[in-house]
Amino acid sequence: MFEKALILGLYSVTPVHAGSGAELSVIDLPIQRERHTGFPIIWGQSLKGVLRRAYADFERKQLKEQIEKETDSNKKKELEKALDELPKTNVIFGPPTDRAHEHAGSISVGDAKILLFPVRSLKGVFAYVTCPMVLERLKRDLELVGKNLDFDISLSESKAVVSENSSIIVDGNVVIEDIVLSAEEKDLSNLMKTIKAISPIEIDEGRVAIVHDNVFSSLVQMATEIVARIKISSETGTVETGALWYEEYLPSDTLLYSVIAIGKPRRDIDKLSTADDIVRELKVFNGRFIQVGGNETVGKGFVKLRVTEYENA
pLDDT in tens, 123-143: 999 999 999 999 999 999 999
The pLDDT-based confidence of 232 (bands split at 50, 70, 90) is confident
- Say if residue 162 is in the same domain as residue 139: yes
Q: For 46, how many CA atoms within 13 A lie in the half-sphere containing its CB?
A: 22
Quote the pTM value: 0.92
Question: Which of residues 195 and 23 earns the better pLDDT score?
Answer: 195
Per the domain annotation, does 39 fall within a domain?
no
Per the domain annotation, does 24 fall within a domain?
no
- Say if residue 120 is in the same domain as residue 102: no
Listed residue (92, 309, 281, 41) closest to 198, CA to CA:
309
Contact 245, 162 (CB under 8 A): no
State the DSSP H helix or E strand holding residue 14, giving kind and residue range, or none if neither: none
Q: What percent of the chain lies above the pLDDT cut of 70?
A: 95
The pLDDT-based confidence of 1 (bands split at 50, 70, 90) is low
Give the pLDDT of residue 290. 96
Out of 187, 208, 223, pick the residue that ends a domain: 223
The domain containing residue 9 runs over which residues? 1-18+44-110+250-313
Task: Using the CB atoms, write b or e for 240-256: b if 16+ within 10 Å.
Answer: eeeeeeebbbbbbbbbb
Per the domain annotation, does 183 fall within a domain?
yes
- Say if residue 261 is in the same domain as residue 302: yes
- Say if residue 104 is in the same domain as residue 123: no
Give the pLDDT of residue 141. 95
Using CB atoms within 10 A of its CB, is residue 152 exposed (0-12), middle (13-18) or buried (19+)? exposed
- Say if residue 294 is in the same domain as residue 267: yes
Question: Whole-angstrom Cα distance, residue 123 to residue 207?
Answer: 9
pLDDT in tens, 152-190: 888 999 999 999 999 999 999 999 999 999 999 999 999
- Say if residue 62 is in the same domain as residue 102: yes
Asked if pLDDT for residue 92 goes beyond 90, the answer is yes
Contact 121, 225 (CB under 8 A): no
The pLDDT-based confidence of 237 (bands split at 50, 70, 90) is low
Domain count, the chain: 2
Asked if pLDDT for residue 233 goes beyond 70, the answer is no
Asked if pLDDT for residue 311 goes beyond 70, the answer is no
State the DSSP H helix or E strand holding residue 7, giving kind and residue range, or none if neither: strand 2-12
